[in-house]
Amino acid sequence: MSSPYAPSLRLAAPAGVLIDRSRTIQFRFAGEVMEALAGDTIASALIANGRWLMSRSFKYHRPRGPASLAGCEANTLVQVGDEPNVLADLRAVQDGDDVQPLNVRAGVDHDRLAILDAFSRFLPVGFYYRDFYGRRWTWDRWEPRIRAMAGLGRIASQGRTHGLAQRFVHCDVAVVGGGPAGLAFAAEASRHGADVAVFEQLPRLGGSLLWGRLRADSLLDATARALRLGQLELPSDVRAFVCASVTGLFEDGLLSVVTKDELLKVRARWIVMAQGGYEQLPVFPENDLPGVALPSGLLRLMRLYGVRPGRRAVVLAADDAAYGAAVDLLDAGVEVGALVDLRGSISGPDDCIDVLERQGTRLLDRAAHVRGVARRGRRHLDALEVRMAAGETLRFACDVAAISAGTIPAYGLAGQGGARVRYDDARRNFVVEAAPGTMELVGTMAGISDLDGAIQHAQERAARAFGAPPPAASSVDACRHSPQALAAWPLFEGGGKAFIDLDEDLQPADLRESIALGYSDMQLLKRFSTVGMGPSQGRHSSLATLRVLAQASGAATASTGIATPRPPAGEETVAHFAGWAHGPFRRTALHAAHLAAGATMMAVGDWQRPAFFGSPANREHAIASEVEAVRTRAGLFDVGTLGGLLVRGADAASFLERIYCGRYLSMKPGGVRYALMLDETGAVYDDGLIARVEQDVFYVTTTTGHSDAIYRLLLRWNAQWSLDVDVTNVTTAYCGLNLAGPASRAILEQLCGEDDISQAAFGYMKNRTLCIGGVRALVMRVGFLGELGFEMHLPSRHAAAVLEKILHAGAAHGLAPVGVEAQRLLRLEKGHIIVGQDSDAIATPHELGLGALVAMDKPFFLGQRALRVRLAKTASRVLICWAGPPGARSSVAEGHLVVDGRDLLGHVTSVGYSAALGRTIGMAIVSPKSAEPASRITLRGEGGELFGAEVATAPFYDPQGARQKL
Amino acid sequence: MRCPLNGWRGIEEFVYGGEVRDMPDPDTCDDEAWSRYVFMRRNPRGVVVEWWFHMPSGLWFIAQRDTGSGDVVATYTVSQWFAQEQARGAGVPEER
């Protein structure tokens, strides 16, 4: 190890509340074996091993170490095994972890690309916009190099492919942040009967009570902290989620919460914003050296993980909290050489000042310039140089600096949820206000930095929200009394790179240059300069950005506005959103029977349907023998997934005439007609059958996917037209069975008793109500598959019994159960389209060859007006059938292209190999010029395979349709 | 959301059906007007009158909703709404 300074030591308990000193863990960093304690994060373990330098910056490859120890900045992004972009200061280190630094070539300590730092003027602000916008060729040349330089981590292509679990959490109150204010609100709300859930990013509740040091006297020792934590202990019915970060707040109060292996979708009536705040990074040269950290970061390091950050420290303070951190550093045995108050006067808490003075810390105000100093290679902070306003320059040797320009509220999530965030000139800070009625702001989020005030305020807000009368002398407003105004700290520039945004390596000059180029609106400045767009999302840079913008554009600070906060507010992975491959599906009444018969099931819309009967290994053969059974004997299909609607009433026929394209008024009871529905743009939307069962009773089928939507659509038009019609959805009340094939009548005759079902008594496209095996069923003579066929719709609860009877009766005739795949091929041989597969969202009936079914002369039907307009124009596409050369198979699949050299003529919608024809056949939507029968077309299959085919005249099979009318 | 027939029900029981709009007379309007009816939506910010469907009971009804806040201001049965509109002499869909 090449650490430039002596290893840090572990501090004695009570420091280190999150670590277990009895369990040692071994892990590797950049190949080197290191020791950690259970409960350590990767970052705390590395610092305990004397290593602050963890990764290098994205743009200039500058050495970087952690600043917040709370996962707030990109400095700590590392690779852990296969997992890229892990925040080392949030991730608990595991035994055997293999940790690698990011943005590094040839070692984190001696990075080859560190030379970029010296050539930074060649990577100007707005680099991408300037060099690539409208100049595509430059991008082609630069892209490989930029990718090689900038890639954050490596994605393992052989890595995990499954998603993580997703879970819903419902509660009355969701508290974001388990610090003192959040806990106070949670406990009080729970006492009033509310169902409360608390979400905390750390493995333990307590927030700043675990590490904070607001004043020298408060929370000075472990006992005081424990006492406070005890007071805020949550009732047992409050659900606490730890290691859980809230990443987004969406419409209707939906919170997304990310844990290591779950995405929680939280819905709460009330959302309590108790995230606390972010310390702001003072801007001075070399403020990014490893060893330079926020006071809260150093406090976390000491208090949570028991790691002493260094030997000698300097503090840059702009509020009381930094004085507290200075005292804590002293307590941990770190010498504090100097404290520089950026406010221009020593105005910390008196007790802190006393302690610091006693310990020999020099308290300085009126600093004119501050600069970090490091040896060659800049791997760690060596000293801080302070030039006083009087001219004197002081140099303090130190290996750690605690720097803060004050704390802003963590407003991101509240802003996403509709609260207004603005800059307040009097307080020189961001203020969150006008929160929606379902949002509560407490603690730092409400502008309260005083611990007792924050707890009291939160308790009172909770009591008020949950029914208790407000206290007589309400102190709610009173405790807003002392919002400390932030210091008007200066930006120290000159003598090295001074950073505003560490993620993006941006300096004040970069922002000024962007503003000078005209990007003087906060939203534009953010996009052009990328300030605040890195993983830290401006947590530590937004205040400085705002001040630079206000100075440079001459506007009042308050009027510059803020960049719109958007999700995610924290790190989340694609795996969290992928979730499990878990889709609920619907089963027909015959599902169990299909499984018992050995069906391989497939998903069709919401439904599970048998693809074919047999094992997947035997797929081709199974489908071919099912097709053969239908063509030569008989097959039985489950069509229970079709939508079924009963349309009844005196106006039923005229209602259907207004909905569908065909004619139904003239239809006699006992008839069946094809039903084609258009949408209002004149495109084919759905198809099915309409059977007139009685004069005023129609049974209407819809496609599998549209049954619910069409039911709604019918009800809605009925509500508007007020006709004498009622519509009942019987989709799942009825199950459908289709018996097709030359032997189907002989099979059915055995089951329907005395009823005559001969062609003479029950002809093609007729319906009858028959008793099949003792069950009343509506039976339709149809021929979708090109053979004699009977489609039976009967009550679902009897479907399995009837299925069994039919299979039994059909055994002697060679009846076979048949799945979806054979059905698709059979209808393809007949040239029958499947709406939604062979049609798309814009195809007219005429483009699909269904024009003859549209009664354009009716007074009105849905889509008629638009279709009239479209028919007046020349069609640009048409659906054709095509056939390949005899015997030839190909890789052409649905969605593949019809091509002519480099021109695209259309795409394939259906394809299958017809054993009956000995050819590959299919359908395609093409331009009319390639639609002439017998003309040649070229299909481009998998991997560019070109397959020649001929435009064919449908149907391929039984062109006269004689077989279905037997 | 409050269904005018079933009272307060969970939002997952409802389906949105778009703004209540008048259909122009298909026989007399020009192509331009019909095209506007088919393709254009106002999408205003403020209180709009919308179709909503309560799935378990199969009821279409009318809701006034503030698109700015997402708050449902009031709900009506279809007959209530159109009777009210007729009384005001405005906004009755031509198709009724």
Q: Residue A152 above 80 pLDDT?
A: no
More confident residue, A344 or A273: A273
Q: pLDDT tens, A44-73?
A: 999 999 899 888 887 788 888 999 998 888
The per-residue b/e assignment along A319-349, b for 16 or more CB within 10 angstroms, e otherwise, is bbbbbbbbbbbbbbebbbbbbbbbbeebbbb
| pLDDT value at residue A136 | 56
Binned at pLDDT 50, 70 and 90, residue A83 comes out as: confident
Decide if B17 and A716 are in contact by the 8 Å CB cutoff: yes
Closest CA to A397 of A327, A352, A334, A323: A334
Q: What's the one-letter identity of residue A322?
A: A
Q: How many CB atoms lie within 10 A of CB A574?
A: 9
Cβ neighbours of residue A670 under 8 Å, at least 6 residues apart? A692, A766, A767, A768
Beta strands in A818-929 (DSSP E): 878-883, 897-900, 903-914, 919-926
The per-residue b/e assignment along A772-794, b for 16 or more CB within 10 angstroms, e otherwise, is bbebebbbbbbbbbbbbbbbbbb
| pLDDT value at residue B88 | 84
Decide if A860 and B26 are in contact by the 8 Å CB cutoff: yes
Return the structure tokens found at A383.
């000293």
Query: What one-character-per-residue DSSP string does A387-440 give?
Result: EETTS-EEEEE-SEEEE-S-EEE--HHHHHTT-EEEEETTTTEEEEE---TTEE
Q: pLDDT tens, A583-606?
A: 788 999 999 999 999 999 999 888
Using a CB-CB distance cutoff of 8 angstroms, which residues of chain B are in contact with residue A711? 58
Most confident listed range (A11-15, A425-429, A826-830): A826-830
Quick check: helix, strand or coil at residue A267? strand
Binned at pLDDT 50, 70 and 90, residue B93 comes out as: very low
Mean pLDDT of A439-457: 88
Owner of token pair 């709460």: A268
Q: pLDDT tens, A664-719?
A: 999 999 999 999 999 999 999 999 999 999 999 999 999 988 989 999 999 999 99
Q: Give the span between the Cα atoms of B49 and B69, in whole angstroms.
A: 14
Mean pLDDT of A654-661: 97
The closest CB to that of A712, out of B31, B53, B96, belongs to B53
Hey, of B15, B27, B36, B60, which one would you mutate to test binding to chain A, going by the most A CBs within 10 A of its CB? B60
The closest CB to that of A864, out of B26, B58, B95, belongs to B26
Q: Residue A271 above 80 pLDDT?
A: yes
Decide if B60 and A715 are in contact by the 8 Å CB cutoff: yes
Q: Residue A579 above 80 pLDDT?
A: no
Q: Residue A437 above 60 pLDDT?
A: yes
How many Å lie between the alpha carbon of A422 and the closest alpha carbon of chain B?
21
Mean pLDDT of A108-123: 62
> Taking CA atoms, what residue in A is nearest to B28?
A865
| pLDDT value at residue B94 | 43
Mean pLDDT of A522-540: 83
pTM of the model: 0.71
Contact criterion met (CB below 8 Å) for A684 and A675: no
Q: pLDDT tens, A861-873?
A: 999 999 999 999 9
Cβ neighbours of residue A665 under 8 Å, at least 6 residues apart? A653, A654, A657
> Rounded to the nearest 5°, which phi and psi values hold at A636?
-120, 120
Asked whether the CA dihedral A606, A609, A611, A615 is positive or negative, the reply is: positive
Q: Give the span between the Cα atoms of A193 and A188, in whole angstroms.
A: 9
| pLDDT value at residue A476 | 46
Q: pLDDT tens, A255-266?
A: 999 998 899 999
| pLDDT value at residue A139 | 58
Decide if B96 and A866 are in contact by the 8 Å CB cutoff: no
Q: Residue A397 above 60 pLDDT?
A: yes
How many Å lie between the alpha carbon of B87 and the closest alpha carbon of chain A?
17
Q: pLDDT tens, B19-40?
A: 999 899 999 999 999 999 999 9
Q: Residue A336 above 50 pLDDT?
A: yes
Closest CA to A201 of A266, A267, A276: A276
| pLDDT value at residue A481 | 42
Mean pLDDT of A390-415: 92
> Taking CA atoms, what residue in A is nearest to B79?
A719
Q: What's the one-letter identity of residue A686?
A: D
More confident residue, A366 or A478: A366
Decide if B34 and A866 are in contact by the 8 Å CB cutoff: yes
Q: Residue A19 above 80 pLDDT?
A: yes
Decide if B78 and A719 are in contact by the 8 Å CB cutoff: yes
Q: Kindly report the CA angle at B42 between B39 and B45, in degrees rounded to 5?
A: 150
Cβ neighbours of residue A946 under 8 Å, at least 6 residues apart? A899, A938, A939, A940
Hey, of A720, A730, A871, which one would you mutate to test binding to chain B, going by the most B CBs within 10 A of its CB? A720
Q: A165-176 and A196-199 as β-strands: parallel, antiparallel, unpaired?
A: parallel
Mean pLDDT of A379-394: 91
The closest CB to that of B60, out of A252, A719, A860, belongs to A719
The closest CB to that of B38, out of A680, A716, A722, belongs to A680
- Whether the upstream peptide bond of residue A235 has omega within 30° of 0, thus cis, is no
Q: Residue A189 above 80 pLDDT?
A: yes
Q: Residue A214 above 70 pLDDT?
A: no
> Taking CA atoms, what residue in B is nearest to A864?
B26
Q: pLDDT tens, A841-862?
A: 999 999 999 999 999 999 999 9
Q: Give the span between the Cα atoms of A613 and A915, in whole angstroms.
A: 18
How many Å lie between the alpha carbon of A417 and the closest alpha carbon of chain B?
12
How many Å lie between the alpha carbon of B96 and the closest alpha carbon of chain A?
5
Quick check: helix, strand or coil at residue A639? coil
Of A528-532, A834-838, B86-90, minimum mean pLDDT range = B86-90
Using a CB-CB distance cutoff of 8 angstroms, which residues of chain B are in contact with residue A716? 17, 51, 53, 60
Using a CB-CB distance cutoff of 8 angstroms, which residues of chain B are in contact with residue A860? 26
Mean pLDDT of A776-801: 94
Decide if B53 and A715 are in contact by the 8 Å CB cutoff: yes
Q: Residue A138 above 70 pLDDT?
A: no
Q: What's the one-letter identity of residue A5?
A: Y
* ipTM, two decimals: 0.93
Decide if B53 and A869 are in contact by the 8 Å CB cutoff: no
- pLDDT, averaged across chain A: 87
Contact criterion met (CB below 8 Å) for A93 and A23: no
Cβ neighbours of residue A24 under 8 Å, at least 6 residues apart? A35, A36, A37, A38
A612 dihedral zone (left: phi>0; alpha: psi -120 to 50; beta):
beta
Q: Give the span between the Cα atoms of A406 and A422, in whole angstroms.
A: 17
The closest CB to that of B38, out of A681, A722, A729, belongs to A681
Contact criterion met (CB below 8 Å) for A743 and A633: yes
Q: Give the span between the Cα atoms of A568 and A555, in whole angstroms.
A: 30
DSSP A79: E
Decide if B34 and A865 are in contact by the 8 Å CB cutoff: yes
| pLDDT value at residue A478 | 41
Q: Give the span between the Cα atoms of A634 and A817, in whole angstroms.
A: 9
Binned at pLDDT 50, 70 and 90, residue A480 comes out as: very low
Closest CA to A343 of A409, A432, A282: A282
Q: What's the one-letter identity of residue A82?
A: D
Q: Is A370 exposed, middle or buried (0-12, 13-18, 19+ CB in 10 A)?
A: buried
> Taking CA atoms, what residue in A is nearest to B68?
A418
| pLDDT value at residue A629 | 96
Using a CB-CB distance cutoff of 8 angstroms, which residues of chain A are in contact with residue B17? 712, 716
More confident residue, A415 or A481: A415
**Beta bridge mates, A904:** A899
Contact criterion met (CB below 8 Å) for A371 and A55: no
Using a CB-CB distance cutoff of 8 angstroms, which residues of chain B are in contact with residue A681? 38-39
Q: Which helix (H) or strand (E) holds A258?
A: strand A254-258
A166 dihedral zone (left: phi>0; alpha: psi -120 to 50; beta):
beta
Mean pLDDT of B1-25: 93
The closest CB to that of A720, out of B26, B70, B95, belongs to B95
Q: How many CB atoms lie within 10 A of CB A694?
A: 12
Decide if B70 and A721 are in contact by the 8 Å CB cutoff: no
Decide if A680 and B17 are in contact by the 8 Å CB cutoff: no
Interfacial residues of A (vs B; Cβ cutoff 8 Å) = 251-252, 680-681, 711-712, 715-716, 719-722, 729, 860, 864-866, 869
The closest CB to that of B51, out of A252, A716, A869, belongs to A716
Using a CB-CB distance cutoff of 8 angstroms, which residues of chain B are in contact with residue A864? 26
Using a CB-CB distance cutoff of 8 angstroms, which residues of chain A are in contact with residue B31? 869
Binned at pLDDT 50, 70 and 90, residue A335 comes out as: very high
Q: A726-729 and A815-817 as β-strands: parallel, antiparallel, unpaired?
A: unpaired
| pLDDT value at residue B20 | 94
| pLDDT value at residue A573 | 84
| pLDDT value at residue A2 | 37
Hey, of B36, B53, B67, which one would you mutate to test binding to chain A, going by the most A CBs within 10 A of its CB? B53
Decide if B96 and A722 are in contact by the 8 Å CB cutoff: yes
* Beta-carbon pairs below 8 A across chains A and B: 38
More confident residue, A267 or A233: A267
